[in-house]
Every structure is written in C-alpha cells, then in structure tokens.
Amino acid sequence: MAACTSSLVSLLLLLLLLLLLVVAPWRSAGEATAEPALNFTRQDFPGDFVFGAGTSAYQYEGATGEDGRTPSVWDTFTHAGWRTRAPEDVKLMSDTGLEAYRFSISWSRLIPRGGGPINPKGLEYYNNLIDELVKRGIEIHVTLYHLDFPQALEDEYHGWLSPRIMEDFTAYADVCFREFGDRVRHWTTMDEPNVLSIAAYDSGAFPPCRCSPPFGTNCAAGNSTVEPYVVAHNSILAHASVVRMYRDKYQAKQKGVVGMNVYTFWPYPFSRSCADIAAVQRVLDFTIGWILYPLVYGDYPEIMKKQAGSRIPSFTKEQSELIRGSADFIGINHYTSVYVSNGSNREKAGLRDYYSDMAAHFRVSRNDTPREKYVPYKVLSEPKGLQCMLEYLRDTYEGIPVYVQENGKFSNSISIHIQPNDVLQQRRFKQFDKDDSLNDTERVEYLSSYMGRTLAALRNRANVKGYFVWSFLDVFELFAGYHSPFGLHHVDFEDPSLPRQPKLSAQWYSKFLRSEIGINIENMVSPDEHEHAYQ
C-alpha cells in the first residue's frame, strides 16, 4: 500500500510539473516573479553579435527640397525641414564606439520620380555616407523603405495599393544593390509594414491618410475594411520580388543578406481565462504572423483568413512559392508590452476592419481603460516582454536570425498623447528641459534591462544577431515632432547649427561597448514592478 501511495504521489508531482510548464508561458504580467540579478559585459555576447544605433532618412536627413530630392508622402504631410550633418555624425558614432549603424535610404532623394533617372546628388550623398562608415569601421545596415513613399508614385497610382509597386520597388532596390552593395552586407527591405498598413490605411493617422468611417475620420478617401490587407499583401510580394532579384543577381558576389522588419509588442493575457489566452495568440498572429508567417510558410495564419474572409487577398501557388523562405533574417522594433483581453463580441459587427477581425482589447496597465486599438501612447519599461518575443520567434519561425533593430525610450517617462490626424500639431510641442534630457538615467536603466533580456534570450537559444538603440540622435519623431528626446545625443533644434551633445546614456553605452564597464542589474524590472510604478 505504501508503495502504491508513493507512486501516486510521484505521479501527482509529475503532473503538477507538466501543468506548470504549460501554464508558465501564459502567466500574466501582474503575476510574474522578480528575476535574479544579471551581471554582464560586452564579452558575454557572441563574437558575431553586433551593437549599434539607428535613424531613418525622413527623420534625420532633412534638406527635403535640396539637391534634386522630391517630396515623400511625409513631406507633404508635415512640411518639416532641417539639414543633416552626416560626416560629423559618423565621427560621433565612431567616438561613441558604435559597432553598427542602421539608416534608411530616401527613395525620393535617390530616384526623384520614384522611377527613371538617378539623382546624381542623391547618389553622391549616400556614397559619401557609406564610405565614411567604412572608413570608420562601422558595420552598415540599410533599410530601403522607412515609411517615406515618393509622393510622385502616390499621385500616379496610389502606391502600395497597386500591384505596380512590385515593379517600381524592385527597380529601386536594384539601383541600391548595384550602387552600394559592394560595401553594404545587411539590407532590410521595409520598416514596419504592419504599422504602415493600419496607420495609413485603417485609422488614417499616417500619410497618405486613407480611411473610412467609423474606423477613421477626416480622410478624403479610403476603405478601412479592405485596404490594410491589400497594402500588406503588396508589401509582402514586393519584398519577395526584391529578395529573389538580389539572390539571382547580387548575393553570390556581394555576400549580403536581405530581411524584413516588423513592429512588435509582447501581449500578456489580462487573465487566465481561455478566452484571454486565445486573444493573445490572435494578437500575435495578426500583428507579427500577418507579415512573418507568409515569409516563412508561404501563407497567412489560418485565424486571419478565417476572421477576414474574402477581405484578405489570397496568394496564388506561384506567389506562395515566391514568398516562402524569402527572408534571410527578421528585424523587430520593440519597445513595450501590453495586457490583452478577449474582444470577440466585436466579431458580430456588420462592418469590420483589421481590429474588429483581431477581436481583442488592450491595456497599458491592469487598471487602464481597455482600448479597441493598440496605440503606443506610453513606452513603459517591461524588458521581460522582449525576451518573451525573441523566444516566441525562435519557436514559431524556425529559428530564423533576428535583429532587434529598434529599442529605446523617451526621457523620464514622457508620454505621447497624440490622436490620429494630429501629427501636424507636433511642432507646437514645447522643447523638454535640456538638463533633464541630458541626465537620462531612466533611459540607461531601460536600455540596460532590455539588453540583459536580449542576453537571457540568447542563452535560451534564441537566434539573436544584433541590438540597435533607437535613436542615435534626437530626431523628428513621427508621433512627437522635433523635441522628443529619444536619442543618445541631444540636438538643440532651437539653434540653427543643430549642435550635438552626448547624454548620460551615450556615455554609458560608449563605455559598455568599449568594455570599460559591465552592467549590474540588481533588480531586473519585472512586470509586477512596472505595474506598481505606473498605477
């Protein structure tokens, strides 16, 4: 009898262990336990792992009407203007100790009409920038398209809504590979196509500001129920066309890699209910799987096809073969995590858009009001979510290499309170206190904890290849204008000479990259801790 009892106890313990293994990945943020201290240095990362920082063409370059450059849709939208200082900034990157720099090429600077003749001044600008980076020994990561679509092609055929984009985007990429590929080995075709599709064609918050009621307001044209799916579809096909061209024409000689970027956030279930856990998986499929699943497996996730029905385009057999395996790596932009709860009651609505199909509600914190749309109006420090995301990508997408291409924070918990169609008001923002911006201790804590979580994911066999801080300098942020202190270096936009000054975070990052300091995270910020901080 004693033997039977002992066996029964052992069996129960085994079942309990298995239950914990199943439940643990879905543990809600408020229930997570504090993590042990993590001490690390630059040497704890693999030799081929790269640390860098980034900017994008529209947000950094300026000179919007100079040297043959024509407007992009963002120029039309904001009428912003300033002037870049690339040679000095590359020296600043070298002085900081950056191992890599990620930037984007302005399509309308290089090819002003979107197609046709190359702009000599644009070609000279990028050749000079790339040569300077090579001279300084900084690894170059180029994004071909970072939301700044040529206005000329938008006027001609509505850009990403038309299948014509595949031919023009491939031709543009061909020019970039031909002119710069002898020095550039890392190419990202597009930045955040999942954001572009929703923000520009569902809510209408981003240019070309297309939407339809009740999902968006003040749009002159658009159809929120179908256009986001069409834009994403054409983006995936355009990416795959570029990759095939590169592999056929350039890869053997240039030895480069081409990938795709997506915006990510980690969704924690609001409760342990089956409905909320199912909502988390829907959110992962709709936000990440929307773009990555076709690139790895050749089709959209089944839940997307079920929810959107005929409103989501289908891939032909030939297209499926073209897109499957068309990414050498994945780039993610990751900043924070959210709570997700079930919103399946929205499925019964007669007129539906992307968010209605996803059928979820979002909260920044547990006591936050649930929202039907995810709007990143706050960037909360929740580094565990990045580790969860990297390990999820490891398990779901066949271990494809991943770069964390953007991760960063406003100084001192600044929140963004911009509603759709308010971006034109950005220049009215008051510049934040310079001393407060320079002494950015919260950014140091944020970056160090997210870097620590990246290392933890690496040690758990996530195939992470690099980490890039957003951004190298204070730049024109798409949701917060000129004066949002996201950069490692402060830029005084009130001074016409735009002087740069390193913040505390730049000095800290420099010392870490030069192995002059290690990082000792006494208390890794865990979800329950951030909950107390932001209630």
Q: What is the mean pLDDT of each run of 10 residues along the chain (535 residues)?
A: 39 36 36 54 96 84 62 63 75 98 96 97 96 98 97 98 98 98 98 97 96 93 98 98 98 98 98 98 98 98 98 98 98 97 79 96 93 84 97 97 94 43 39 69 95 97 98 73 74 88 96 92 45 32
Spatial separation of the C-alpha atoms in residues 438 and 420, rounded to whole Å: 30
Q: Say how many domains are in the chain.
A: 1
Confirm whether 13 is domain-assigned: no
Cβ atoms within 10 Å, residue 247: 14
Which residue range forms the structural domain that includes residue 385?
A: 37-411+432-520
| Helix intervals (H) in 261-353 | 274-284, 290-297, 302-308, 317-323
Look at residue 28 and tell me if it is in a domain: no
Instruction: Indicate whether 17 belongs to any domain.
Output: no
Q: Which long-range contacts (CB under 8 A, 24 or more apart) does 350-353 make?
A: 351/214, 351/225, 352/225, 352/311, 353/202, 353/215, 353/224, 353/225, 353/228
- Tell me whether residue 534 is in a domain: no
- Which positions are annotated as active-site residues? 192, 406
Q: CATH number of the domain at 396, please.
A: 3.20.20.80
Query: Contact 424/462 with Cβ under 8 angstroms?
Result: no
Q: Would residue 426 count as lying in a domain?
A: no
Q: Is residue 32 assigned to a domain? A: no
Tell me, yes or no, whether 447 lies in a domain.
yes
Distance of CA 532 to the CA centre of its chain: 27
**Predicted model pTM:** 0.88
Q: Are 223 and 231 in contact (CB under 8 A)?
A: no
Q: Looking at the domain assignment, is residue 144 inside a domain?
A: yes
- On the CB side of 101, how many CA atoms lie within 13 Å of its CA? 27
